[in-house]
Structure 1
Amino acid sequence: MSRPLRLFLCALLSMLATAAMAQIEIRPLPEHAPPKPVPLGARELDAQDAEAWLDGLMPYALKKNDLAAAVVVIVKDGQVLLAKGYGHADVAAGKPVDPATTLFRMGSISKLFTWTAVMQLVEQGKLDLDADVNTYLDFRIPPRDGKPVTLRELMTHTAGFEETIRNLFASDARHFLGNAAWVKEWVPERVYAPDKLPAYSNYGAALAGYIVQRVSGQPFDDYVEQHILAPLGMQYASFRQPLPKALASHMALGYARAGAPPRSFELVNAAAAGALSASGEAMARFMLAQLQGGSYGGAQILAPATVRQMQDYSRAAVPGLRAMALGWYHMDRNGQVIIGHAGDTQWFHSELALYPQQGVGVFVAIDGRDDGGLRGQLLDGFTDRYFPAPPEVPQPALASARKDGALLAGRYASSRASVSNFMAMAGLFSQVRIEQDRNGDLVTPDFRNLAGAPRHWREVAPFLWRDVDGRERLGAKLEHGQVRWLSIDAVSPVLVFLPVSGWHSAAWNLPLLGLIVLVFALVALLWPVAALVRRACGKPFALAGRSRLWYRLSRVAAIAQLLFYAGWLWVLLRLQADIASLGSGFDAALRLIQLAGLLAVAGIAAAAMNAWHAWHAPGGWWRKLNSVALLLACLATLWFIGSLHLLGLHLDY
């Protein structure tokens, strides 16, 4: 090899070695957000298609259900895709709904703002989700099983509180307490072990709002306005009651029916649980902030990590059913992760749903006493249209269906219930019964409408059933081979149904109640009828002396019993008609009912003495028989008074 060639090769090798030793520069490809999966057969979610679909649904639904007004807002990819009002905010004046400025009551959607406020203070280190809430209060929440209440339990409805109804709404300004006074007025009993099962609690959310007020040093209304509403530019939104003058003229009037007179502005004492009034577009800003890591329009109301902490948290009370996030609950459908919250007042109904993986949010508010299922129809229809479920192969029932279903047969009561006071009687009338048909499927009433058609469920996984005519699931949690509780998808994040003991089963309690009321009615009715017959026939009254006295007093006792039961029936009917009337102004009526109860209890002595005289003095079989029937009916009243807490010193419920 010639010398020049050798020199060339040496130089070439030197250059290659230098290049190998040099730092390698890596230039990554630009990052792109992962593509959003679009289900097969889905329509393109754009403003034109969404508006055409809503225009076909909403006017018809409002007319069918006699509803006054509604607003629907859809957000997508960081902006408002569609905001549209339907019907009239003021029917008599013909004032249309403006999605930007017309306010609707949000009901329990208000809780999402309370939880946002809580998490803001957690970020600042002023609150600890797992600390005893008594640390932040100026009154005490008693422990249950030696365990205190925590904010995490309040946000997941697992603190164990029984239901609270009294003064939840105020009938008028004279009876308006406000959030701080309401949570101190009565602390409901913790009737369930903490952090075990969900029992939806307005009291828990109101308590969290009071903690925000205490720790921040600001009234709750001021805090939310300053730290959430104003930063997001939610000009047409407020927790204040009554509304400020600048907003009052924009409030949709509340209607029981579109053709009925408007109702007065609802006053919610548990403000942090349900007092927000807001327009559709104001709610769009809140949805966008929650979809964009806590940020909207340059304002950051929560850190992205906090938003993920709230949305990614998962607590399922029943395996296989929808879970509770931190303050949000899951509404998952068609394989889509959906989180949100619904809200109800007497005259307004709303629902907010976020599809975080799709960057989409939907909000609807409706003006009317009963939405007729419109919210569910809208959310199901929206999801099916734009995020349809993949094709499914029908699943046969499991071989274990008959054996597993037999374990569930029986009666159940909702965990969201009053237990320690006279409103326990509502639970007696709302028990649900689960049976099996000849195929081994479960048969239940409609859990959300006990008067609705029965529903059939087929077991598709161990202790997980699916609605034969739909997609909803029913599941049960078992321990040691016994059903602890069960639930369905629609409510599983916030409540379950607990087996009813034999002593408290409506299967025999309701027939017994009907029988004793019938006895009292017959005794009270036949007393004057018998007197009229004797007068017409010219026959003297056969009883005299003490026998006559106890006979008459026993009839007075029967009338007192009738008044007692009629009074409680009136309370239940009034509760259905107007919950705001069950406030402090209602206390006098409750005391009169309890006075009738005391007379009824005292009348047991008269019934006993009447029976004694009937059996120890000459007389026919009819007198002996009815005297015993009356005494037994009076004694049965003691069971209902004790088991349903129909007499008590306090009027907390």
Structure 2
Amino acid sequence: MRSWKLIAAAALAVLMGPAAVTQGPAPVAPVSPTVAPESVPPAPPAVPSGGAPLDRANVEAWLDGFMPYAMARGDIAGGVVVVVKDGQVLFEKGYGYSDVAKRKPVSADATLFRPGSVSKLLTWTAVMQLVEQGKLDLDRDVNTYLDFKIPAYDGKPVTLRNIMTHTAGFEESARYIMSNDPKGPPMSLEELMRDTVPRRIFAPGTTPAYSNYATALAGYIVARASGQSFDDYIDQHILRPLNMTRSSFRQPLPANLKPLMSQGYALGSGDPKPFEMVGPAPAGSLAATGNDMAKFMLAHLNQGQGLLRPETAKQMHETTLDIVPPLNRMALGFYEQNINGHRVIGHGGDTQWFHSYLWLFPDDNVGLYMSVNSAGKDGATGPLRDGLFTQFADRYFPAPLSTAKVDAETAKQHAQMMAGTYTNSRGHQKSFLSFLNLMGQVKLGVNADGTLNAPAVTGSASQPRKWVEIAPFVWRDAYGSERIAAKVENGQVVRWSFDAVSPFMMFDRVPWYTNSAWLMPAFLAALVIILLTALTWPAGWIARRRYKAALPFEGQALKAFRLTRGFAWATVLVVVGWVTFMSVAMADFTLLSGSLDWLLYILQALSPVVFFGMVGIAAWNLWLAWTGKRGWFSRTWSVLLLIGAVIVLWVALAFHLIGFGTLY
């Protein structure tokens, strides 16, 4: 499922500091690619204007150079790539290993990968089948189809259209997203939908905010409307009609498919990981071969043949939602990913170990699918799949870059209007995981030459990009096709996004009171003050013992001295506890299914006592310092300590570290 893990990990690094680095074994070099079945007939060459011939020989030559090097460089064990064109499989090939220890090569038609959120496309197709049959209505309140209630937001209900365009307005949901239990997910789909309804944070239809829960809810509605389990429905109405015999949403996998399942890896040079059990199964539990995914692509490219009526497929592909024009939009379940003047729709997918993408060029009758079985070194899978898509498009569907440009003075003014701090619409806003937002806010600025500086939107090697304003509040990568655009209201930039994420994610301005530009330095300074206060207790004791000096406090002052240091230690430990909880949980999503609840309960019980107590004790200490006979340093420090305690309490309140419950 499309991963926010990297964002969370980067945010936590701000608090955790540099990590120790260990050297592992050298990356595994992928074996020679397995050859696609000879039964696949070659397609006649087709040469788009200025492009290379889109035939099997050319595609194979290019990919045989691209994939092995990219995988070896990124420490990725194995992958598969499929290209379809004009109603047939043009090319399919496995690269590297499905099992490194056994040196088992990847096969395009006999190795199962986990395409993650690409699974959603099958779920959306199932929804549209039932819309065709009149059993579902895209614009009806989903509560019509449920045996529990999704609360309205400002009186507005959620519809299936909202769900399919990721504008249902749900907060991000991480609870039970993954588990390693070989028996299956910890909760049934019905239990998960009923017991973990996320909070509503946006009015429906207004804000793209990717939601695995919402997609799983659509799968549950498919089950209720059809009278079958979700797995049975998918088997009988999606997989069987397309002869996708080596694919399944079932968890654990059916016995006949288990031997074909690729291992998953963090690094190709590391140990294999357990099979991931996806909690919201309709959102990401599919396992499939590359050849089976080709069949699914061909069906959609051929006007839904075998799955949908042509008019329904067209509705699914072309009904789009404009939020920030002219950026890529969300269709009914598909992301728009247009490039080089060609219309592209698709969907990405990530589990912890498998990373995939499916792209369709409907007007060109071409499809591209890739999946790899390793997270890779330093997030290597992201640049790999981005590079695969852009290089494929540039090679076979090239187009000259536009030379349009806004004048320098206007561009500078617009860049200055963009400058500020923003938060991601796909995130946690009402649970304790919103603490990640403090470290993960995105900043835009202005370069010395007056151009836009967007450090969060980097290139494939994490290098800064040069942005050229090509139209009012629309910027393009000077050396590529990626665009940034903003929405302006009353002369103010209120939100922006960029092409890669605009179908399902926006960046909105952060209110001043939670703006990390000042709050993060203030929070870190507050923690330093409180930590130094805590350290004076053992340090003072050692000094007094060495020099045989007495503590210069008695009565109320002595009590305040001890309580101040005690609460300072407690504050530091609770903050460290929260950072530890989040860093451990974000490193392994399976821990979000309850394994860390004991620590969560402890932190939730201690947080209000410690954070409010720290402010109260610091205020008492300040009063004693200023009404007693203390020196200027003691008085000044008492002021700093109270300010620090208030800042820590504010962060705890603003980012929901004070609260109870395990809905997150």
Aligned residue number for residue 49 of structure 1: 58
CA contact (8 A) 1:104 1:252 kept: yes
Aligned residue number for residue 577 of structure 1: 587
Alignment of 1:588-603 (within 5 A): 588-600=598-610, 601-603=612-614
Give the whole-Å Cα distance in 2 for the aligned partners of 1:44 and 1:192. Answer: 47
Give the whole-Å Cα distance in 1 for the aligned partners of 2:173 and 2:349. Answer: 17
Q: Are 1:615 and 2:621 an aligned pair? A: no
- Deviation track 1:94-135 (CA, whole Å, cap 9, x = no partner) reads 111111011111110011011000000001100000000000
CA contact (8 A) 1:236 1:279 kept: yes
What residue ranges of structure 1 are gaps of 5+ in the alignment?
A: 1-34
User: Residue type of the partner of 2:502?
Assistant: S
Q: Are 1:223 and 2:233 an aligned pair? A: yes
Counterpart selection for 1:345 from 343, 346, 351: 351
CA contact (8 A) 1:429 1:506 kept: yes
CA contact (8 A) 1:563 1:596 kept: no
User: Which range moves more in the overlay, 278-287 or 182-191?
Assistant: 182-191
Shift of 1:603: 3.7
CA gap 1:344/1:393 in 2 versus in 1, 3 angstroms: same
Shift of 1:140: 0.6
CA gap 1:36/1:131 in 2 versus in 1, 3 angstroms: farther
CA contact (8 A) 2:301 2:362 kept: yes
Aligned residue number for residue 68 of structure 1: 77
Aligned residue number for residue 418 of structure 1: 428
Q: Are 1:87 and 2:96 an aligned pair? A: yes
Q: Are 1:468 and 2:478 an aligned pair? A: yes
Counterpart selection for 1:550 from 549, 560, 577: 560
Aligned residue number for residue 662 of structure 2: 651
Counterpart selection for 1:245 from 255, 261, 266: 255
User: Which range moves more in the overlay, 481-490 or 118-127?
Assistant: 481-490
CA gap 1:439/1:618 in 2 versus in 1, 3 angstroms: closer
Shift of 1:166: 1.4
Aligned residue number for residue 411 of structure 2: 401
Of all paired residues, the percent bearing the same amino acid is 46
Aligned residue number for residue 372 of structure 2: 366
User: Residue type of the partner of 1:348?
Assistant: F
Give the whole-Å Cα distance in 2 for the aligned partners of 1:567 and 1:451. Answer: 34
Aligned residue number for residue 301 of structure 2: 291
What is the DSSP-based 3-state SS (H/G/I as helix, E as strand, rest coil) of the residue aligned with 1:423? helix
Largest Rg, 1 or 2 = 1
Shift of 1:240: 0.6
CA gap 1:448/1:208 in 2 versus in 1, 3 angstroms: farther
User: Which range moves more in the overlay, 467-476 or 341-350?
Assistant: 467-476
Give the whole-Å Cα distance in 1 for the aligned partners of 2:150 and 2:382. Answer: 38
Alignment of 1:226-375 (within 5 A): 226-295=236-305, 300-369=306-375, 370=379, 371-375=381-385
Shift of 1:41: 1.6
Alignment of 1:629-640 (within 5 A): 629-640=640-651
Shift of 1:288: 0.5
What is the DSSP-based 3-state SS (H/G/I as helix, E as strand, rest coil) of the residue aligned with 1:562? helix
CA gap 1:294/1:88 in 2 versus in 1, 3 angstroms: same
Shift of 1:394: 6.3
Q: Are 1:500 and 2:522 an aligned pair? A: no
CA gap 1:116/1:195 in 2 versus in 1, 3 angstroms: same
- Deviation track 1:596-651 (CA, whole Å, cap 9, x = no partner) reads 31331224333333333333333333333333322222222221121111111212
Give the whole-Å Cα distance in 2 for the aligned partners of 1:180 and 1:143. Answer: 20
Q: Are 1:148 and 2:157 an aligned pair? A: yes
CA contact (8 A) 1:68 1:88 kept: yes
Aligned residue number for residue 642 of structure 1: 653
Shift of 1:433: 1.2
What is the DSSP-based 3-state SS (H/G/I as helix, E as strand, rest coil) of the residue aligned with 2:173? coil
CA gap 1:603/1:431 in 2 versus in 1, 3 angstroms: closer
Give the whole-Å Cα distance in 2 for the aligned partners of 1:515 and 1:387. Answer: 53
- Deviation track 1:254-287 (CA, whole Å, cap 9, x = no partner) reads 1000111110000110101111111100100000
Q: Are 1:129 and 2:138 an aligned pair? A: yes
What is the DSSP-based 3-state SS (H/G/I as helix, E as strand, rest coil) of the residue aligned with 1:147? coil
What is the DSSP-based 3-state SS (H/G/I as helix, E as strand, rest coil) of the residue aligned with 2:214? helix
CA contact (8 A) 1:560 1:599 kept: no
- Deviation track 1:8-55 (CA, whole Å, cap 9, x = no partner) reads xxxxxxxxxxxxxxxxxxxxxxxxxxx999532211111111111110
Give the whole-Å Cα distance in 1 for the aligned partners of 2:277 and 2:630. Answer: 61
CA contact (8 A) 2:432 2:655 kept: yes
Q: Are 1:139 and 2:148 an aligned pair? A: yes
Give the whole-Å Cα distance in 2 for the aligned partners of 1:578 and 1:74. Answer: 33
Shift of 1:141: 0.8
CA gap 1:520/1:399 in 2 versus in 1, 3 angstroms: closer
What is the DSSP-based 3-state SS (H/G/I as helix, E as strand, rest coil) of the residue aligned with 1:231? coil
Shift of 1:453: 3.4
Counterpart selection for 1:102 from 91, 94, 111: 111
Give the whole-Å Cα distance in 1 for the aligned partners of 2:431 and 2:580. Answer: 17
CA gap 1:209/1:120 in 2 versus in 1, 3 angstroms: same
- Deviation track 1:540-596 (CA, whole Å, cap 9, x = no partner) reads 111122321221111110011101111121133224311221222221111122233
CA contact (8 A) 2:46 2:55 kept: no
Shift of 1:392: 4.4
CA gap 1:310/1:424 in 2 versus in 1, 3 angstroms: same
User: Residue type of the partner of 2:600?
Assistant: L
Alignment of 1:195-234 (within 5 A): 195-234=205-244
Aligned residue number for residue 9 of structure 1: none
CA contact (8 A) 2:83 2:90 kept: yes
User: Residue type of the partner of 1:408?
Assistant: M
Give the whole-Å Cα distance in 1 for the aligned partners of 2:541 and 2:414. Answer: 60
CA contact (8 A) 1:171 1:583 kept: no
Give the whole-Å Cα distance in 2 for the aligned partners of 1:53 and 1:642. Answer: 54
CA gap 1:449/1:538 in 2 versus in 1, 3 angstroms: farther
CA contact (8 A) 1:66 1:257 kept: yes
TM-score, normalization: structure 1?
0.91
Give the whole-Å Cα distance in 1 for the aligned partners of 2:501 and 2:320. Answer: 15
- Deviation track 1:137-164 (CA, whole Å, cap 9, x = no partner) reads 0111111121110000100011111111
Give the whole-Å Cα distance in 2 for the aligned partners of 1:521 and 1:449. Answer: 39
User: Which range moves more in the overlay, 500-509 or 401-410?
Assistant: 401-410
Give the whole-Å Cα distance in 1 for the aligned partners of 2:228 and 2:341. Answer: 42
Q: Are 1:191 and 2:197 an aligned pair? A: no
Shift of 1:493: 1.0
Give the whole-Å Cα distance in 1 for the aligned partners of 2:280 and 2:493. Answer: 34
User: Residue type of the partner of 1:221?
Assistant: D
Give the whole-Å Cα distance in 1 for the aligned partners of 2:592 and 2:443. Answer: 29
What is the DSSP-based 3-state SS (H/G/I as helix, E as strand, rest coil) of the residue aligned with 1:177? coil
User: Residue type of the partner of 1:356?
Assistant: P
What is the DSSP-based 3-state SS (H/G/I as helix, E as strand, rest coil) of the residue aligned with 1:354? strand
CA contact (8 A) 1:349 1:367 kept: yes
Shift of 1:167: 1.3
CA gap 1:44/1:197 in 2 versus in 1, 3 angstroms: same
